[in-house]
Amino acid sequence: MKTVRVRFAPSPTGRLHIGGARTALFNWAYARRLGGKFILRIEDTDLERSKLEHERAILEGLSLLGLDWDEGPDVGGPFAPYRQTERLERHRAYAAKLLDTGAAYACFCSSERLEALREGQSARKEKPAYDRKCASLTAEEVAARRGAGEKPVVRFRVPEGTTRFIDHVRDEVAFENKEVDDWIMVRADGMPIYNFVVVCDDIDMGITHVFRGEEHLVNTPKQVLLYEALGATAPEFGHLPLMLGTDGKKLSKRTGDTALQDYLERGYPKAAIVNFLCLQGWALNGTTEIFSIEELVANFDIKDVTKAGAIFDIDKFQWMSGEYIRKYSVDELADLCTPYIVRAGLASEAQLAERRSWYLEVVRGEQERIRTFAELPARIAFLFAEDGAVPYEAEALKNARKQAAGLATLADYRTWLAEALAQGKSTAELRDATKAWVTARGIKMPVLFQPLRCSLTGQPGGPDLFDLIRLLGGDHALARIDAGLQRLSAPDGSPT
């Protein structure tokens, strides 16, 4: 059994697409499961759009997800280089060989002619295809036109017949060759094109399995034909179902974030991203939703991948993210959230470090309420607000005002609390004593707690109020109650 060699071959023309991340993940898992090699290759033959910064970002994204590669542009390997533009010599040699055997031919048709050709075809409702005008040029003609300075493209001469290949996701797929156009392998400027280089490099790098997105399914016959023309054995394929937007179409910016980076910035834990990606087209056993990347590796098989496209369900993703958030220790979660708090401008990293134990309490209080790291700042912003100007959310205000006796109760409680605080009551004592105080007055808990919560936090929900009083500090809590007494009686609850 030959060693499995799979690759992920992104083009550095933008940020890492979330679908690309899943493709990488499945390739990686397949290699790791079978003890094979996972190779990273950069497809940068599109000189216009390829950028080194994109390449760096992509590598970084993969690393963050915990995917490591055995060979690649940064780590090298036995088949270096791993950037396609650095392999031009090899590609040229293959092209020359194909030209030599007649499997490919030079084509001098201009872009303009091709465009006109296509226009005419589609106007006549014919399928757009090259008319093979240059397919029968003699060697002499080609040489003459080259000599005259004309720059031809190189086209693949598609033979007759039917092309079949193994697809591990959907069994065998077949295409009639007559449906395949005489596609361009090399541009007029000498730069080879994707469908051509990918085959050259996969051959040179000994790639045994090609798992990629379903949008490449129609490219496959072109490539398989090329393997045959080159006398090479085609690898086995596996076309992964597309990740769809809520409109049911290929995930695009129209319907949601498409870049891995977007989700990282939105504060989804990496492990949650990996876990969720697994579920788009694959299932561990149908009942286990939460599992680790190690479990993926131990159980992954390309044959178990679903055939149908999967709509990216952000609701489920957020739920899963929350599950991961709750699994962290408070300490870890605090560290993970820190950048988001800093970015929101609530506090600097140094300030949070200074008040580490306070910060940990804050995080502990919100851990079961947030689903992403990025949700924390908005939830705790009230802690950093001016006592007299805590923003009141409409819902909080409504809840507070629903209590007819709320204001009077809060006023009385304010006096009682000041006294209790002065006595140095602990949080637990304060909590118990307050409940006793409420009970003694013969009123329901919310009568006090709603206006109190609104005054203190301005939010309709949140952690235990006595934990909050400790976090705020007694003086601040009292100041906020004083402000609340005023603001709750004002028509719009605005700070005075």
Q: In the set 13, 261, 299, 486, which binds RNA (CB under 7 A)?
A: 13
Convert residues 271-310 into a mask of x (bound to RNA by CB under 7 A) and - (unbound). Answer: --------xxxxx-xxx-x--------------x-xxxxx
Query: Judged by CB under 7 A, does residue 95 bind RNA?
Result: no
The yes or no reply on residue 331 touching RNA (CB under 7 A) is no
Determine if 313 is a binding residue for RNA (CB under 7 A). yes
Please select the residue that binds RNA; options are 119, 349, 464, 475, rule is CB under 7 A: 464
127 binds RNA (CB under 7 A): yes
In the annotation, is 253 catalytic? yes
Q: Is the peptide bond before 269 cis (omega within 30 degrees of 0)?
A: no
Interface segment toward RNA; rule CB under 7 A; list 92-100, 203-211, 335-343, 447-455: 447-455
Q: Is 167 helix (H, G, I), strand (E, B) or coil?
A: strand
> In whole angstroms, what is the distance from residue 406 CA to residue 180 CA?
77
CA dist., res. 246 & res. 38, Å (int): 32
> Looking at 262-270, 312-320, 333-341, 400-408, which segment touches RNA (CB under 7 A)?
312-320
Stretch that binds RNA, among 26-34, 259-267, 317-325, 470-478 (CB under 7 A): 317-325
Q: Count of CB atoms within 10 A of residue 65's CB?
A: 22
Which one among 90, 97, 118, 145 touches RNA, defined by CB under 7 A?
A: 118
Closest contact distance (angstroms) between CB of 209 and RNA is 18
Among 3, 49, 131, 146, binds RNA (CB under 7 A): 49
Place of tokens 């997800």: 65
Is residue 449 near RNA by the rule CB under 7 A? yes
Single residue of 322, 406, 458, 484 touching RNA by CB under 7 A: 322
Catalytic residue among 127, 253, 316, 402: 253
Please report whether residue 364 would count as binding RNA according to CB under 7 A.
no
Q: Evaluate whether 28 touches 67 at the Cβ level (below 8 Å).
A: yes
How many angstroms separate the Cα of 74 from the Cα of each of 63, 150, 381, 435? 12, 38, 42, 63
Q: How many helices (H) and strands (E) does the chain have?
A: 21, 11
Q: Does 238 bind RNA (CB under 7 A)?
A: no
Using CB under 7 A as the binding rule, whether residue 4 contacts RNA is answered as no
74 in contact with RNA (CB under 7 A): no
Taking CB under 7 A as the rule, does residue 450 contact RNA? yes
For 274-307, b where at least 16 C-beta lie within 10 A, e where not — what string? Answer: bbbbbbbbbebeeeeeebebeebeebbebeebee
Q: What is the 3-state secondary structure (H, E, C) of 377-394?
A: HHHHHHHHCCHHHCCCCH
User: Which residue numbers are catalytic?
Assistant: 253
